[in-house]
Amino acid sequence: MATSWVLAEFETEVGLCAALRRLRDLGHRRLDAHSPYPLHGVDEALGLRRSPVPLIALLFGVTGAVSGYLMQWWMNGVDFPINVANRTPHSPPTNIPITFELGILFAAVAIVLGLFALAGFPRTYHPVFEAEPFRTASVNALWLSAEVDPEQAEPLERELEKLGGLRITRVAEEGRR
């Protein structure tokens, strides 16, 4: 099914948030806001929930630290104990640094991969990039985007105009036939 992307620029954060709220009230769900820096209030206007990234970080950080410790215990204490000057093969204090480092490493890698997965990266092509004016979204302009069925695009454009949207643009995406 083909879909259309309707894009509109807004001059202020307040205007953008108000428009998002209005469109949500009208029943539109596939909405998004685009800006060169994070905006305040947009998450609420879009009804986005809290990011799960902290949970991912915690889970993987703990996994890294635990597996790091177990690795050292098993390798030096169980599988191949090396006797160096009669020191105990398994010595917890000497295992702290690597346990800590592996905890950090796992958490950091998981955060970045989690970000990629949640944001859908890498995805270098997206229909909104077809609209030339939309290129200002990463530079200096605030944009609203809505994914709608082609027959809804026309009324949506009129609504956006009423809400103060500028440079309203439509991108038609040809879907599966």
Partner 1 sequence: MSVEPRTLDMEGTGRALLEGAPVLVGLPGDLEVNDQLFRPVWERTRRGWLALFGICMGMTGLLFTAIVYTFARGIGAWGNNIPVAWAFDIINFVWWIGIGHAGTLISAILLLFQQKWRTSINRFAEAMTLFAVMQAGIFPLVHLGRPWFFFWLFPYPSTLGLWPNFKSPLLWDVFAVSTYFTVSLLFWYVGLLPDLAALRDTSKSKAARVVYGIFSLGWRGSARHWRHYRVAYLLLAGLATPLVLSVHTIVSFDFAVSQLPGWHTTIFPPYFVAGAIFSGFAMVLTLMIPARKVLGLEHVITDRHLDNMAKVLLATGLMVSYGYATEHFIAWYSGNKLEAFAFFNTRPRGPYAPIYWLMLTCNVLVPQILWWKRARGSVWLLWIVSLLVNVGMWTERFVIIVTSLHRDFLPSSWAMYRPTWVDWSIFTGTIGFFGLLFLLFLRFVPSVAASEVKELRRELQHEEHARSQPPRAAAPAHGR
**Per CB under 8 A, does 100 bind partner 1?**
yes
Angle, CA of 139, 140 and 141, to the nearest 5° = 115
**Per CB under 8 A, does 2 bind partner 1?**
no
The correct pick among 62, 138, 149, 158 for binding partner 1 (CB under 8 A) is: 138
Rounded to whole angstroms, how far apart are CA atoms 31 and 6? 10
Report the nearest approach of partner 1 to the CB of residue 108 (Å): 4
Region of residue 32 (phi > 0: left; psi between -120 and 50: alpha; otherwise: beta): beta
**Per CB under 8 A, does 130 bind partner 1?**
no
The correct pick among 26, 62, 70, 118 for binding partner 1 (CB under 8 A) is: 118
Rounded to whole angstroms, how far apart are CA atoms 16 and 120? 24
If binding means CB under 8 A, how many residues of this protein chain bind partner 1? 71
Rounded to whole angstroms, how far apart are CA atoms 141 and 31? 17
**Per CB under 8 A, does 30 bind partner 1?**
no
CB atoms within 10 A of CB 106: 21
**Per CB under 8 A, does 174 bind partner 1?**
no
**Per CB under 8 A, does 165 bind partner 1?**
no
User: Contacts with partner 1 in 39-68 (CB under 8 A)?
Assistant: 39-44, 46, 48, 51, 53-54, 57, 61
Q: Cis omega before residue 97 (within 30°)?
A: no
